[in-house]
Chains A and B, each alone.
Chain A
Amino acid sequence: MDVLVNPTESSLLRFTTAGSVDDGKSTLIGRLLYDSKSIFEDQLLAVEESSKRRGDAHVNLALLTDGLRAEREQGITIDVAYRYFATPKRKFIIADTPGHIQYTRNMVTGASTADLAIILIDARLGVIEQTMRHTYLASLLRIGHVVLAVNKMDLVDFDQAVYDRIVAEYMAFTAGLEYVPQIRPIPISALNGDNVVDHSTKTPWYVGPSLLEHLETVQVKPESVTGAARFPVQWVIRPISDQTDAKLGNLHDYRGFAGRVAGGTFCPGDEVVVHPSAMNSKIVGIHTFSGEEKEAISQLSYSITLADEIDTSRGGMIVRADQPIQSAHEFDAMICWFADKKTLKPRGKFHLRHTTNDVRAVVTEVLYKVNISTLEKSQEVLEFGLNDIGCIRVRTSAPIFFDAYSENRITGSFVLVDEQTNNTVAAGMILKPIVDAFEEDAEVTI
């Protein structure tokens, strides 16, 4: 049943799930979909039939999320799968990422667009290496909210002491992270549904919200909404027509910069700086198909017209004049390496895609790699293989216009594309620009 969300008031929450193999992640998602009545009869029937064929003891809710043939045959999740459900209060998009070998690449992918991460722990095993890896990745990707779902509480007799010990251990670990998300621990049993949608009678000692209550009510606000005003130019709208539009008048000279606001707010009359030329101008109009808008807000798409004829196009960036952006062609960044057949070495050359910009890039230096189980930085082996994370210095063929990833997830992120295969081989998060080649060690605040 597709729940009727109020279309004028509902918001959207995007979350990702992480756990090791057999932590019951797919079961939890199946449970959320099932208990929120987001599963249809024909889907349930298909899953029941598959479960019977496989000889599963009960209806295997994991089969709801594992869609590909190989996944169903091997009982694993291969790739990020996106799931959708709604309650009357909110709409949800889940990025379900697998717990096995390629988990880093997939979790980083799912985390890049998530507002919240559910990290599953098997109550019998407690905080294990995987938990720490998943938490480190959520922190690295700057997910603002984490739910620590202590699962399989039924297998430890819903023992509060077990739960309290796990939570304490987890909090101690996260305190050492550079960026600590807001953490909400919840004791659950995904298999039986305890504290997933409804409060469980078996955990009278737990007074917090059920998982779904928390998901419905948690306030998430991307920092980009309140941050500096950023508008990457995607496309220039030039009708080149003498037709007259009912709202815009004669279109002959119409020149609108189309894009999606990546941070902050723009209003007509705002003084702006337009990159790459760094020319000053003023916003004349903010347009959508519905007409003139009073403001352009973060995450929404518009066409913006300027007072002056300024040469910018795809890859350009419009920013508020009082909120300047970094412009540099050399910077340090954290990356996660995605390719399984190739490694990253110093002097490696790539296409770098950042906002709507595409430039050539060379990795001038590999600064360190991070052991994501111990969080230690190492300079012993500077080659990156699949799922490796670390810090590199990049030089680009032309300057790019960016913020630190900690300030803005859109203008602070990039991907590297292999020049031969065209595959996306790395995800990058910018730390700081290298302003002057002669003062590379100088501290730069951005």
Chain B
Amino acid sequence: MSAITHLQFLESEAIYILRETAAQFQKPALLFSGGKDSIVMAWLARKAFYPSKLPFPLLHVDTGHNFPEAMIYRDWFVNEIGAKLTVGSVQKSIDDGKVQEEKGHNASRNKLQTVTLLDTIEENQYDACLGGGRRDEEKARAKERFFSHRDEFGQWDPKNQRPELWNIFNGRKHFGEHFRVFPLSNWTEMDIWQYIRQEEIPLPSLYFSHQRKIIERHGQLLDASTGIIPLLDEEIPKVKEMTIRFRTVGDATCTGAVESTASTIDEIVAEVAAARQTERGTRADDKRSETAMEDRKKEGYF
């Protein structure tokens, strides 16, 4: 008998977790951002329940600061895999006075998403949210469980997590509590790309090399073509046309680009293999402090 490859193992493990989630919870949802990790997760969910449709909806927490390409892709993808889509709107949370927009030119709605996410979970009574987080992404994520318990305030307590042994996942909870479930915990960025290549999964065009107006701010290449990021007066003359692609796709205000001519999956895989920076190195949200991710996760972030 031939040994299984690492991608076969990771795929099977993720499918197992997705099925456990459907079986152990009353009303799960799959967090879908249009980023490659959530695309791979939704792709695996389709496989896990085939020939049935997904037994849970996709949930998009919409900051309102989206790249148009990501939204076009989202609607196409949802239709393609025959899923249902629920949208939680950060703009609505702002309009309802539940959160206040950050001020200044570095303002981002990234942190506000947490409130919208927790509200959407409560409104829809979701008891488990599937997330595309990976342990290799960030040091606080390395301590995350597959089945991650959240208290009634949606908070994560990293010092009091349930041990996870063998293939056994404990999703028991009290009323009002919920779980975050991470089927891709054991995947690395390279695994994601190799899997996308193997499965020929279509991606938003943002991931591939293209020309874009860019402003360099604190060493980061930020989008200056959609108008989502307000530019300072002195920045306007510094906007350059560059050949870039995005390594992650999230809220446009904190997603940095990299200079790249990689226009196919093969070229991206080669580029990722040679990269000297983690993909989150392009994320402004992680640069705020050494434990920025841990702090956001404790509050209920993805």
Contact = CB atoms under 8 A, between A and B. Distances in A.
**Which of A43, A238, A355, A409 has the most chain B CB atoms closer than 10 A to its own CB?**
A43
Query: DSSP majority for the A interface?
Result: mixed
A417 interface: yes
A40 interface: yes
A72 B163 CA distance: 22
Interface string A205-220: 0000000000000000
A234 B166 contact: no
Interface in B220-270: 269-270
B200 to A, nearest CB: 12
Contacts of A106: 163
Contact of A1 (B1, B23, B274): B274
Given A68-B158, A297-B4, A105 B198 contact: no
Contact of A239 (B8, B51, B191, B294): B51
Contacts of A2: 188-190, 272-273, 275
A96 to B, nearest CB: 9
A61 B277 CA distance: 17
A81 B136 CA distance: 10
B67 interface: no
A40 B12 contact: no
Nearest to B280: A42
Interface stretch (B94-102, B137-145, B207-215): B137-145
A83 B168 contact: no
B201 to A, nearest CB: 12
Interface in A379-398: none
Contacts of B48: 258, 301
Interface stretch (A9-17, A119-127, A132-140, A179-187): A9-17
Contacts of B163: 80, 105-106, 108-109, 338, 424, 427
B245 to A, nearest CB: 17
A299 B276 CA distance: 34
Interface residues of B, number: 69
Contacts of A334: none
Nearest to A78: B159
A417 B49 contact: no
A42 B12 CA distance: 32
B167 A355 contact: yes
B5 A234 contact: no
A239 B162 CA distance: 34
A239 to B, nearest CB: 5
A314 B23 contact: yes
Interface in B2-45: 3-12, 15-16, 19-20, 22-23
B186 A67 contact: no
B175 to A, nearest CB: 11
A40 B275 contact: yes
A82 B185 contact: yes
Contact of A41 (B7, B50, B52, B277): B277
Nearest to B295: A69
A50 to B, nearest CB: 7
A62 to B, nearest CB: 12
A3 B273 contact: yes
Nearest to A353: B168
Interface residues of A, number: 85
Interface in B109-150: 135-136, 138-143
A438 interface: no
B12 A300 contact: yes
Nearest to A63: B139
A333 to B, nearest CB: 13
B274 A289 contact: no
Nearest to B185: A82
Nearest to B165: A112
B166 A40 contact: no
A60 interface: no
A72 B294 CA distance: 12
B276 A41 contact: yes
Contact of A301 (B15, B22, B141, B172): B15
Contacts of A42: 277-278, 281
Nearest to B21: A235
Given A10-B6, A79-B158, A422 B167 contact: no
B92 to A, nearest CB: 33
Contacts of A12: 5-6, 9-10
Contact of A300 (B8, B22, B274): B8
Interface in B149-205: 158-159, 161-168, 170, 172-174, 185-186, 188-191, 194, 197-198
**Which 3 residue pairs across A and B have the least CB separation, nearest first?**
A67-B139, A289-B47, A422-B172
Given A11-B5, A82-B186, A288-B47, 6 more contacts: A1-B273, A46-B290, A78-B159, A112-B165, A301-B48, A422-B170
Interface of A: 1-5, 7-12, 40-43, 46, 50, 64-70, 72, 78-84, 86, 91, 93, 105-106, 108-109, 112-113, 221, 225-226, 234-235, 237-239, 241, 245, 248, 251, 254, 256, 258-260, 262, 265, 287-289, 297, 299-301, 303, 314, 338, 351, 353-356, 409-410, 413-415, 417, 422-424, 427
21 contacts: A1-B274, A2-B273, A4-B190, A8-B5, A11-B4, A12-B9, A41-B276, A68-B159, A69-B294, A81-B142, A109-B165, A237-B50, A262-B167, A289-B46, A301-B19, A354-B168, A409-B166, A410-B167, A417-B170, A422-B173, A423-B162
